[in-house]
Structure 1
C-alpha cells in the first residue's frame, strides 16, 4: 500500500473516496490521535478525497482541522502549530494530474515510520475500525492562517543582506508562498505558472531539466539572479542559475551541505548520490552518511546527533532544526541566502568537481530472482558491499549501484568515477553482473 512517500496512484484505481474513508478510519484506529490536520494540493480530485478522509477520521472520534489547499510542508508544520497529533496531505506530489494520494506526518514533521505504516496497512487489509458512538464523533474546523504562519517562519529562518531578483515557477501547484516569503525578504520576484490549477497546464509537475524550459528562458533573458521551481505540493525545490542553466540536484546537495556542515558533521544522502557531494564535504572535514533512496529515509537519518542536513538529488531538502519534512519553500529561501552571501550560483557551481556518471537498465521479468543472484555475484567479487538499498560497491576511483526498479520490470545500474574511462569500466562491470545473473537465473 505504502510507497517510499505515502500512498499514491491513479484516481479511480487504486485511489478512491472509499480508500480515503478507509485511510481516515485506519489512521484514527491505529494511532493515539485526537486531533488531525488535513490539507491538499490543487488537484481536481483533492477536495472530494479530503472530505472522505475527514469523514473517516471523524467516524473514529478524531477532530479535524482542515487548512484547505496548502503546500505539503505547510501541512506537516501545522501539526505542531495546532497542537495536533498527526497531519495528512492529500497529494500525489510530482506525479501527473491523473494521480492522487496521501502523505502522513508526525508532529516533528517526520513522515510516518515503518511501524506506523505497517499498522495502517494491517487495519486497511483487515477492515478494522472502532467507530465512535453517535455522540462522540469528531468535529471539523478550518484554519486560514497556515500559509501566513509558514511565510513568517521562512522569513525568520534566513538573513538576506541584499535584494536579489528571483523568478519562481510555482508549476500551478501549492508553492506560491515561496514568492510571498521572498517579497517579504526584499527580493524582486517574478512568478511563472502561479495560478493554482490541479491540471498543471503550465508544465509537468516534476521540476527537472526537461520541464523547466520556460523558467530557464525567462532567467536567461532577464537580469534575474536565480530561478526557483516547485512540484505540485512544493515539497521539492529545484533551481536555475543566473545564466539560465539548470542546476543538477547533486550540485545543490553539495552546496547546501557545505553551507550547513562544519568539521566533524555529517549530512544524509541516498546511495545514488554523486561523488561531488562526498568530495565537497571532505574539503571541510565533514562527511556523508548514506541512506535508502527516498526522503523518508533521509529524514530519519537527520534525527541522528551529528547529521545537520539531508537531501535527495530529486529535490527534497531537510534542515532538521527547522522541520523533518522536505520543505521546498525553505530550500528556496536558503538558496537565496546562500547566493546573497557567497555570490552568483554559476560561480559557486564552478567550485564543485564534475564527474562522469552513467546509467543503464536491463529488462527482466524475474526481477527479484535476478537481483538475488546479482547480490551473490557481487559479494563473491568484493569484500565491502553495501546492501542498504540495492547493491553498492565503492572503489578507489568511483562506485556502482545495482537496484531493482520499484515500479517496472527492470534492474537499474548506475556508475560514477572521477574519469570517463573508469566510469565506463564500472558501468560495464556492473551491467555484466546483471546480464550474467539473468542468464543463469532464466536458463
Structure 2
C-alpha cells in the first residue's frame, strides 16, 4: 500500500511487496542503516539503544526484527516493551543510552507501523542526520558484527512508572491541588499504551479514572487520530458519568485532546494554549508552535509578556526553534505539548499533569477555562494537482499576489492577515497542496480557504 521514507524514520503498511510496504526486509534494512549511522556518530566501542512500541498488532514482530538487527551490528538493546513515544524519549536520557527507536505509526490505522528514530538526547533526528540514515539505506552496504561481538539484549519493564515519577517531580505539577480537587476523568486510549500510562498517572494524583478503550491489544475501536469526529463515544460517556472532563490520546501518547464536562470539544489546538497559559503564569518566557497552529497561543503568550515564534511544521523544527528562543513551552496544534523542564518531545503525560494543575489552581470547570480563551476557528482543506504541475511555481505566484501582506515562506507559504491567516504547504509524497486557514468564525475560515483555492486554480 505505502512506504514513506523521511528524515524522522520509516513508515508503511505491514505486508505486501518489499520496498513498497513495511516488510520484514525493509524493517531490517532501515534498522541496520540507523545502527550504522549511530556507530559512525559516536565512535564508541559499546552502544546501547532503547526500543519501545505501542500496542499495534504488528508491534512485537517489528520490535523483534529491529532488536535482532541492532544486536547483529554489535549494539546492545534495552527493550522496554509496551510503552509510549515520550516514555522512550525519557528512557534514553534516564539510562544514558546512545539512541532509541519507537515502533509506532502514531495516529495511523492499525495496518500501519513505523520506526521513529532518536538520537542520544532522546530527540528526533534533525534533517542532516535523517538524510544520513536514508543515504546509508540507499547504499545498501552493511557490515555486521562477528559472533563474539554481537550485542546484548535485555528487557526493562519499569520505564512507564519511571516516566510518571519524572512528571510528578516537575515543579509546576501541583500534586496537592490536583488531589484536593477530586477530579473525575474519562480516558479514551484507543486500546493502545495510553491505557497503561494515563490511568496510572491519574491514580497517583487521586483522580477518579473511568477507562474507555484502555486495553492495550492494538484493536483500535475507532479512527485513532484524536479528532472531534472520532471522539463521539467518549464525549457521550463524559456526560453520562458526570465527569469533570475527558482525555483522549493517540496510540503512541504524544497527542492530547480534552473533552469538556458537557461533552463539547476543548479543541486540539487549545490543549497547548491551556498548558502554556498555566506555565507562563508561573514562569515568564517565550513559546513556539508550528506555522499551522492556532494564533491563540500567540495571544496568550503576549498576554503574559512573552514572545511567540512559529517554526516549520514538524516536531524537530519546533524543538530547534524552542532551543534558539529559550522557549519555556511549545508544541504543535495537534495536541502535542513540549515542556523542556521535562524533555524536548511531545508528551501527553506532561500535558495531562499541567492541564490538571491549571484547572485545580483556577477552581473552574473545563468549559469555563475553554471559554476564557480567544475563539478561533480552523478550516483544513487540500487541492489535488496533476503530477506535471510545478507546485513551487504555483506557491511563488501566490506569494507574489499577497506580497503586501505579512508572508512567511520557511515552510510553504503562510499569509498573515489582521484577524486571520492561511498556510499553504505541498505534500512530500503526493501532488497535493494542503490549505489551512484560521479566522474568527468557521464561515470566515471556510471562505478564506475557498478564496485561496480559487487563487491556486488561477495560478496553474
Normalising by the smaller structure, the TM-score range is over 0.9
Contact preservation (8 Å) 2:421, 2:438: yes
* Residue 315 (structure 2) pairs with residue 295 (structure 1): yes
Partner Cα separation in structure 1 for residue 450 and residue 351 of structure 2: 37
- Tell me: CA distance 1:387–1:14, structure 2 relative to 1, closer, same or farther (3 Å): same
**CA distance change for structure 1 residues 428 and 93 in 2, over 3 Å: closer, same or farther?**
closer
Specify the alignment match of 2:456 in structure 1: 434
Counterpart secondary structure, 1:303: helix
Q: Does 1:218 align with 2:237?
A: yes
For residue 285 of structure 2, what is the aligned residue in structure 1? 265
> How far apart in 1 are the matches of 2:12 and 2:102?
14
How far 1:10 sits from its partner (Å)?
0.6
Pairing partner for 2:248 from 208, 221, 229: 229
The partner residue of 2:9 within 6, 13, 31 is 6
Q: Report deviation, 1:367.
A: 7.2
Contact 1:373 1:437 in 2 (8 A): yes
2-side partners of 1:306 and 1:208: how far apart?
A: 30
SS of the residue corresponding to residue 334 of structure 2 reads: coil
Taking a change above 3 Å as real, the CA distance of residues 368 and 173 of structure 1, as seen in their structure-2 partners, is farther
**TM-score, reference length from structure 2:** 0.89
For residues 257 and 453 of structure 2, the distance between their equivalents in structure 1, rounded to whole angstroms, comes to 30
- Measured in 2, the distance between the counterparts of 1:416 and 1:130 equals 51
Q: In the TM superposition, what is the alpha-carbon distance from 1:420 to its structure 2 partner?
A: 7.1
Quote the Cα distance in structure 1 between the aligned partners of 2:442 and 2:71.
Answer: 58
State the shift of 1:191 in Å.
0.7
The aligned residue for residue 372 of structure 1 is: 393
Q: How does 1:192-341 map to 2 (within 5 A)?
A: 192-200=212-220, 202-261=221-280, 265-341=285-361
Maintained 8 Å contact 1:24/1:55: no
1:27 aligns with 2:48: no
Query: Deviation of residue 368 (structure 1)?
Result: 5.8
Q: Distance in 2 between matches of 1:368 and 1:155?
A: 52
Distance in 2, Cα, partners of 1:229 & 1:170: 6
Provide the residue aligned with 2:113 in structure 1: 100
Conserved 8 A contact 1:270-1:290: yes
* Counterpart for residue 16 of structure 1: 23
Query: For residues 417 and 325 of structure 2, what CA distance do their matches in structure 1 show?
Result: 28
Aligned partners of 2:29 and 2:443: how far apart in 1?
Answer: 54
1:354 partnered with 2:375: yes
Alpha-carbon deviation of 1:194?
Answer: 1.1
Other structure's SS at 2:229 match: coil
- Could you give the per-residue CA deviations for residues 183-206 of structure 1, whole angstroms, max 9, x where no partner exists? 111111111111111121x22211
Moved over 6 A (4+): 419-422
Q: Is the 8 A contact 1:5 1:294 kept in 2?
A: no
CA distance in 2, matches of 1:172, 1:272: 29
- Counterpart Cα distance in 2 of 1:64 and 1:356: 46
- Show CA shifts across 1:149-200 (max 9, x none): 1122222231131221111111101112111111111111111111111121
Distance (whole Å) between structure 2 residues aligned to residue 257 and residue 87 of structure 1: 28
Secondary structure of 2:148 counterpart? coil
User: How far apart are the structure 2 equivalents of 1:362 and 1:181?
Assistant: 42
Q: Is the 8 A contact 2:86 2:345 kept in 1?
A: yes
Residues paired across the two proteins, number:
437
1:243-281 deviation line (CA, Å, top 9, x unaligned): 111121222222122222268622111111222222222
Contact 2:101–2:115, Cα closer than 8 Å, also in 1: yes
| Residue 345 in structure 1 maps to residue 366 in structure 2 | yes
TM-score of the pair, normalised by structure 1: 0.92
- Spell out the pairing of 1:152-231 with structure 2 (5 A cutoff): 152-157=165-170, 158-160=173-175, 161=177, 162=180, 163-175=182-194, 176-200=196-220, 202-231=221-250
Give 3-state SS (helix, strand or coil) of 1:250's partner.
helix
Aligned residue for 1:261, secondary structure, equals helix
1:104-124, Cα deviation, whole Å (9 max, x unpaired): 122333111112111110111
1:360/1:25 CA distance change after superposition, 3 Å: closer
User: 2:13, 2:21 within 8 Å by CA — same for their partners in 1?
Assistant: yes
Q: Which of 364, 382, 403 pairs up with 1:382?
A: 403
- Counterpart among 432, 438, 443 of residue 416 in structure 1: 438
Q: Deviations over 1:378-422 (max 9, x none)?
A: 235414421111101112232222222344432222333346786
CA gap 1:207/1:423 in 2 versus in 1, 3 angstroms: closer
Residue 368 to residue 184, structure 1, CA distance change in 2 (3 Å): farther
Residue 391 of structure 1 is matched in structure 2 by 413
Cα distance in 1 for residues equivalent to 2:61 and 2:106: 17
Going from structure 1 to structure 2, the CA distance change for 1:84 and 1:421 (only over 3 Å counts) comes to closer
Q: Which moved more, 1:327-336 or 1:410-419?
A: 410-419
Given the superposition, is the C-alpha separation of residues 409 and 341 from structure 1 closer, same or farther in structure 2, using an over 3 Å criterion?
A: same
Q: How far, CA to CA, are the matches of 1:374 and 1:79 in structure 2?
A: 40
For the structure 1 residues 216 and 91, does the alpha-carbon distance in structure 2 shift closer, same or farther, using more than 3 Å as the test? same
Q: Is 1:405–2:427 an aligned residue pair?
A: yes
User: Aligned pair in 2 of structure 1 residues 101, 427: CA closer, same or farther (>3 Å)?
Assistant: closer
What displacement does 1:142 show?
A: 0.9
